[in-house]
Chains A and B, each alone.
Chain A
Amino acid sequence: MRKSFNLSQLIGNFFTSRKWLPLCGMLSVFILNACGGGGGGAAPPDPGPYTVAGTVTPVSTSRIDSDVNDPDYAFDSNDTFADAQDLPNPVTLGGFASVTGSGLSNSNFASVGDTTDFFQVQLFAGQVVGLKLASQIADLDLILYDSGQNELARPQLGVGQNESITVPGSFSGSRAFYIEVRAIAGVSNYTLTAGLSLAASDNDLLARDFVPGEVIVRFRDTVLPAGVSTDSLEMRAQAVGLKAVSGAPGRSMLMRLVDSAPPSAANKAPGLGIAQHTANTVSALQRKLDTIRTVEALKQRADVDSVRLNHIYRAAAIPNDPDYASQWHFPLINLPAAWDVSTGSANVIVAAVDTGVLLNHPDLANKLVPGFDFIRDPSIAADGQSAGIIEDIDSDPNDPGDRSLGSASSFHGTHVAGIIAAETNNAVGVAGIGWNVRVMPLRALGLGGSGTAYDVEQAVLYAAGLPNDSGTVPAQKADIINLSLGGPGGSGATPDAYKQARDAGVIIVAAAGNGSSSVPEFPASYDDAVISVSALARDKARASYSNFNCFVDVAAPGGDGADSVMSTVGSDISPPVTFTYGLKQGTSMAAPHIAGVAALMKSVYPGLTPAQFENALKSGLIIEDLGAAGRDDQYGYGMIDALKAVQTAQQLNDNQLNLADDPFLAVSQCALNFGVGTTNLSLTLRDTGSGATPLTGITVTVDTGGTGSWLSYDPPANGTGLGDYTFRVNRTGLVNETYLATINIASSVNSVSVPVVMQVTSAVAPEEDAGLHYFLLYDPATSSVLKQVTDNVNSGVYNYQFDDVDAGEYQVYAGTDLNNDGAICDPGEACGFYPDASFSSNTFILNADLVAADFLTRFDANFTSNTLLGASTSGVPVRGIALKRIQP
């Protein structure tokens, strides 16, 4: 249909179009006044003036460094241990530090520098203290001291580097700690965080690639056992309680452990003759443990020159895909050796819940089973489909790309699918982990790579063959679900979709998130149902962006710096889309490495259950331990080792390994933090076993360390001891301090301890304080600040009011100016604005008094760093909304 124009309509549209506001905002107001209106004869709006007012609340746990650079804010030095500023736990603090001589004029630290900030806080083992710098050219050190002022940890990572310290688990002194932020170079705002992130108990390390029960020993020819005059293989073996296999004096001898108890003489000799075998069976796992201990015992004998495990070496399958040479991330996890054992089975399906997949990509087209598109909102789906089953849900999981945003697309899901199972050894493109494994493409993320939790959960249900909004289920459910996505969680309770999918036998793997923080993202942090994967750089260090927290189960390559993960993508710069290969980094790339390896295990041992996979991680059988021994927040149980994984699967398949699908007690939270105001929190107890043998004997006790009965709980009503518990705190009558407790949960199989922290304060109102705030009335049409007021927090809130404001379109911004550079909302500073993201528009139309323009302000631990202090004063909004305030 031909569109017609008329002049008055066009001019009217011109004036009402917000796209032209930068040009005509001021002029249009002038026109309306001077020319008698410009929009079709309607009566002009009442020009005002009006009032804009509201309340601004700092988010929970907000605190401000008591000696910042802004001279208008109350100053209280915290430069020494004696002056250390008390902080709650958890806390997010905005701070400022500078070396001498780097300050700005007219500031608190114009000449002397704020070289140290000391804080005192109650922490317990496993918690993470994090320091985020605003300036990339400054160097601040984070130092942790015990209560005796003894230094415990100092990362010293250098200029522009964010630092973190995990409170050491071995520390047994007072639970009060000092934290120092020390300026080494330059000047910077910073955000200091201390929150709950607790490591689980350590686990045995048995991850060795060797023949269980066999050791290779070289004896000292000159040292013979007492009473022996003739050297021989048999004599040497008998002397150490082992069975001779081969070899001879003068060279290495192969010996084997005697199968039956009691333990070998080798273990007895150095006093290690403890019972090695469990009562019921000598599992392959136990036999490997015996072998390692025997080696350690033999090392201590005077007649032994050297001893080692009989390691297994294998030919390594190298696929002929031309871009395989760029896939450094596959050899890193021992995949070539694993491929000698298994390249996967076509009976195994991995669901990729993502942005969809380019179904015709030549390296994927033959590897896909039918999928689905679960995006309900057509504006997110943007796939041109109509008449979906419900709203826009349809059966086409092809990734249509982001071109409606005017941007070449990421084809994120295609990249993820390629890591899992790109067609391999076909002399085309890249290799995938599961050469024969198939991928079920499920589209739940749309434009820009975003989507809703609900759509993701529908895809999870579909993949697991469970009822879902599509009204159908796949012909064969997926064995593994990969979720290279994340977002904020809700109450912490695991949604039923994940629990039901896991109960259906599906292993669920998710990306831990790219926040470079311990803040949990979901679904990865639904601990009782989902495997959380952190990302590694090429050198096996945690990738700089990767999240780390108590929910991380395992690590895998995600790339960092110059090293990225190579996989399948598409290019839609010039339609139609072309099928190519590209590099990406992220925990999104790490997760499919785990999903792919799990698929190889499932190919070798089809009976693999989620509980067995988790037990294999916990026992160290399928990982290379990294970081602290056992589980830690950075790497979980360690980096996945594909060879060990398929070997473990072989042993399971051959009934040589007892990774029983036993009952096992798991909890939904690794810690409970009631802070200063929360009174109720939930904790879910769950049996992660198959259910064939019920978990029994569940008891829950609380230990408040003699501080009273302030912690109680309501158990679930089902009588099994499993389910949702509600824990409550009662602060009545307690003196002001931080209280710690432990919830001890015992069962017939295992026990779990959950730390609890709670605070009592004297303040009638909340103590949140984000420092002196500047409130700016902003005119987006002219990019100018029209009015400014200031306020300090009072009873936990700020109040602001602008009077005599003309009718118009505005925004309100609030924030600190810690570094006193004349701009609020710099990196590292508190910031908030109205209308916030809960509104459909970023501006509001003022045509009457507005007295409830309320919003939140916060220090953001995930802000974007700046390269130059004070760059925001140039008018360039670094954080997106940095604004110059009005200065006298």
Chain B
Amino acid sequence: MHLHRLLLPVVLMALSACAGSGHAPETERLAARQLLSSVHCAATSSQASLTVITTDQQLDRVLAGIARSSGHGVDDQFRSAFARDLIVLVSMGRKRTGGYSLGLADKALLQDGWAVLPVTWNIPAQGMMLTQALTSPCLLMAIPRQHYKGIRVLDQHGRVRLQTPLD
């Protein structure tokens, strides 16, 4: 793991050297971490969304919704994270069955000032039997509290699922 961290700048430098002319975006690792992934987050909209939580009230609402739906106890780790970091909520929106989930997939990046968050965006395979309870998968992540031009969420295939400018 440590070797990865040491090598990353080296690899990036090599890439830059070979690519030469500065086409590569400015990229560095971003210390993002997953706080919670749940399939029941009390989403009321069917639309996927990306939200940066900026107030205690927002955080309370989100955590209360998760607790109400799933029985998950929500505790101090979220509040301590909120005091230190930015909290990002990724929601898939309301889904009509099981089979959907989200997770922080890999190392996040700071790319040209954007926080790039790679997630696993799981959807059910066709033809499967699925639980027939409504779900609303969401992912709560903490990223360092600093200035970002925006936040972009990529799925496991590299597609932009959600993005929001913050400037």
Contacts and interface: CB of A to CB of B under 8 A. Distances in A.
Question: Is B a genuine binding partner of A?
Answer: yes
Interface of A: 5, 7, 10-11, 14, 18-27, 30-31, 34-35, 136, 354-355, 402, 405-410, 412, 415, 444-445, 448-453, 455-456, 484-488, 511, 513-516, 521, 545, 564, 569-571, 573, 578, 580-589, 591, 780-781, 783, 837-838, 842-843, 862, 864-867, 874-878, 880-881
Contacts of A415: 133
A485 B132 contact: yes
B34 interface: yes
Given A410-B40, A582-B71, A583-B69, A452 B129 contact: yes
28 contacts: A18-B158, A19-B105, A26-B23, A34-B18, A402-B101, A405-B122, A406-B37, A407-B38, A407-B137, A408-B38, A410-B40, A445-B98, A448-B98, A448-B100, A450-B124, A450-B129, A486-B97, A486-B129, A488-B127, A514-B133, A571-B71, A571-B73, A573-B38, A583-B69, A586-B133, A587-B132, A783-B158, A783-B160
Nearest to A15: B11
Contacts of B111: 23
Q: Give the residue among A355, A486, A514, A591 with the most B Cβ atoms within 10 A.
A: A514
A491 B98 CA distance: 24
Given A571-B73, A877-B159, A412 B129 contact: no
Interface string B1-38: 00110010001001100111001100100000010111
A484 B163 CA distance: 35
A449 B123 CA distance: 11
Interface stretch (B45-53, B54-62, B80-88): B45-53
Contact of A582 (B69, B116, B125, B126): B69
Contacts of B71: 569-571, 580-582
A27 B25 CA distance: 10
A513 B70 CA distance: 21
A14 B46 contact: no
6 closest A-B pairs by beta carbon, nearest first, are A449-B98, A406-B103, A580-B71, A582-B71, A586-B133, A449-B131
A350 to B, nearest CB: 17
B157 A514 contact: no
Given A30-B18, A405-B101, A448 B72 contact: no
B68 A877 contact: no
A876 B133 contact: no
Interface in B103-156: 103-106, 109, 111, 116, 118, 120-135, 137, 154, 156
Nearest to A579: B71
Given A407-B103, A408-B70, A580-B71, A445 B129 contact: yes
B96 interface: yes
A177 B72 CA distance: 52
Contacts of B40: 410, 582, 584
Contact of B157 (A407, A780, A838, A865): A780
Interface of B is mostly: mixed
A546 to B, nearest CB: 10
A7 B7 contact: yes
A405 B120 contact: yes
B78 to A, nearest CB: 10
A10 B27 CA distance: 19
Contacts of A578: 73
A391 B137 CA distance: 30
B102 interface: yes
B47 A448 contact: no
A822 B17 CA distance: 38
A878 B7 contact: no
Nearest to A783: B160
Contacts of A842: 157
Contacts of A589: 133
Q: Give the residue among B14, B18, B47, B96 with the most A Cβ atoms within 10 A.
A: B96
A689 B95 CA distance: 39
Contacts of B109: 22-23
Contacts of B161: 876-877, 880
A484 to B, nearest CB: 6
Q: Give the residue among B11, B27, B160 with the most A Cβ atoms within 10 A.
A: B11
Contacts of B129: 444-445, 450-453, 455-456, 485-487
Nearest to B162: A876
A452 B99 CA distance: 12
Nearest to B160: A783
A410 B127 CA distance: 21
A84 to B, nearest CB: 31
Contacts of A573: 36, 38, 72-73
A405 B133 contact: no
Nearest to A22: B158
B99 A580 contact: no
Contact of B34 (A406, A445, A837): A406
A484 B125 CA distance: 18
Contacts of B72: 408, 571, 573, 580, 582
A353 to B, nearest CB: 9
Given A23-B111, A582-B70, A5 B3 contact: yes
B90 interface: no
Contacts of B4: 10
Given A27-B19, A402-B39, A584 B69 contact: yes
B158 A407 contact: no
A35 B18 contact: yes
Contacts of B68: 582-583
Contacts of A355: 131
B128 A487 contact: yes
B104 to A, nearest CB: 7
Q: Give the residue among A19, A407, A516, A878 with the most B Cβ atoms within 10 A.
A: A407
Given A14-B11, A30-B19, A406-B120, A450 B130 contact: yes
A27 to B, nearest CB: 5
B97 A449 contact: yes
Given A27-B15, A449-B97, A837-B126, A22 B132 contact: no
Contact of A450 (B47, B105, B121, B125): B125
A97 B4 CA distance: 54
Contact of A843 (B47, B99, B132, B157): B157
Contacts of A570: 71
A515 B96 contact: yes
A867 B122 CA distance: 22
Contacts of B133: 410, 412, 415, 449, 484, 514, 584-586, 588-589
A408 B47 contact: no
Nearest to A355: B131
Given A583-B69, A780-B158, A876-B163, 9 more contacts: A11-B7, A21-B158, A449-B130, A451-B129, A571-B73, A585-B133, A587-B132, A864-B47, A876-B161
Nearest to A490: B127
A560 to B, nearest CB: 9
B138 to A, nearest CB: 9
A19 B106 contact: yes
A33 to B, nearest CB: 9
Nearest to B136: A585
B152 to A, nearest CB: 9
A410 B7 contact: no
A566 to B, nearest CB: 10
B126 to A, nearest CB: 4
B93 A408 contact: no
B47 A875 contact: no
Contacts of B122: 405, 448
A837 B125 contact: yes
A878 B73 contact: no
B38 A10 contact: no
Contacts of A486: 97, 129-130, 132
A500 B90 CA distance: 46
A593 to B, nearest CB: 13
B132 A25 contact: no
Given A22-B154, A486-B129, A588-B131, A408 B36 contact: yes
Contact of B24 (A7, A27, A402, A864): A27
A499 B68 CA distance: 39
